[in-house]
């Protein structure tokens, strides 16, 4: 498979999932460092910068369980957990996934 830093043209991804299209739209803020994908997030005023790890779907549940059971800052509600996740991680549909996993799996 060829590796390229060039953003694919829209026609090549237009038939893909909404998630793929979202990452395409964020292309310029995604950076590969040592084989790990990060999203560069900057505040609107430019005073704050964060590098968020782009979390693979297979790791979302594990990360949420870890954050929820943290001895120092765990057992938070959905809103606070979403905030904690966004401090360090990024993936498509963070809010929806946190709500679903916490309500249906962690808070029962």
Domain with residue 75: its CATH number is: 1.10.340
Output the pLDDT for position 67: 82
Element holding 31 (H helix, E strand): strand 30-33
Strands 36-42, 49-54: parallel, antiparallel or unpaired by DSSP?
antiparallel
Report pLDDT for 77: 80
Output the pLDDT for position 52.
96
Confidence (pLDDT) at 1 = 39
Candidates 90, 92, 32; CA nearest to 63 is 90
pLDDT reported for residue 11: 96
State the residue range of the domain holding 77: 10-106
Residue 1 lies in a domain: no
Residue 3 lies in a domain: no
- Whole-prediction pTM: 0.79
71 is a domain residue: yes
In a domain, 76, yes or no: yes
pLDDT of amino acid 32: 94
CA distances from 45 to 41, 48, 49, 89 (A): 12, 8, 10, 21
Number of domains in the chain: 1
Residues of the chain with pLDDT under 70: 1-4, 71-75, 106-108
């Amino acid at each position: 498979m060829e590796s390229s830093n060039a953003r694919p043209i829209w026609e090549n991804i237009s038939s893909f999932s909404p998630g793929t299209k979202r990452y395409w739209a964020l292309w310029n803020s995604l950076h590969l460092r040592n084989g790990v994908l990060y999203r560069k997030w900057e505040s609107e005023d430019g005073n704050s910068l964060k590098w968020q790890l782009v979390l693979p779907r297979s790791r979302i549940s594990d990360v949420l369980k870890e954050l929820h059971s943290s001895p120092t800052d765990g057992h938070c509600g959905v809103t606070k957990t979403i905030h904690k996740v966004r401090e360090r991680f990024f993936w498509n549909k963070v809010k929806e996934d946190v709500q679903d996993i916490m309500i249906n799996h962690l808070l029962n």
